[in-house]
Amino acid sequence: MPQSKSVLVEVNGKPVYILPLDKNRILSVEGPVGNTTIEIKDHAVRITDSPCSNKLCIKQGWIHSGSIVCLPNRVVVTVGNKDRQKDGPDAITG
């Protein structure tokens, strides 16, 4: 049975939202250099506007898994399973 996915939005390394990926919405988060606008739609997420100069986070487009990072504004948007996000990061070391 597949786990439901959610969107974790972090600013300055602190979680500010954990939202379901299956509910369409637009939200804005404030980072150190201004507001970043995030859109969740049709089980995908993207950054639509950000105050950063290079706009790499916007150019990344829609994602269904993984992360979008706006380094200048310190915003990270991650798509993952709800259970994984509650437990925190997972790492494998060699």
CATH number of the domain residue 72 falls in: 2.60.320.10
Residue 32 lies in a domain: yes
Inside any domain, residue 33:
yes
Count of Cβ atoms closer than 10 Å to residue 57 Cβ: 24
pTM value? 0.82
Per-residue pLDDT reduced to its tens digit, 73-83 = 999 999 987 55
Contact of 4 with 76, CB cutoff 8 Å: no
Count of structural domains, the chain:
1
Which tokens hold the place of 73? 């504004």
Residue 1's pLDDT band (cuts 50, 70, 90): very low
Residue 26 above 70 pLDDT? Answer: yes
Q: Rounded to whole angstroms, what are the CA distances from 76 to 35, 40, 73, 93, 94?
A: 13, 14, 9, 23, 26
- Quote the domain boundaries for residue 31: 5-86
Residue 91 lies in a domain: no
pLDDT at 24 over 70: yes
pLDDT of residue 82: 59
Q: Mean of the pLDDT values across residues 15-39?
A: 97
Backbone dihedral angles phi then psi of residue 5, each to the nearest 5 degrees: -95, 155
Instruction: Tell me if 71 is assigned to some domain.
Output: yes
Domain assignment present for 14:
yes
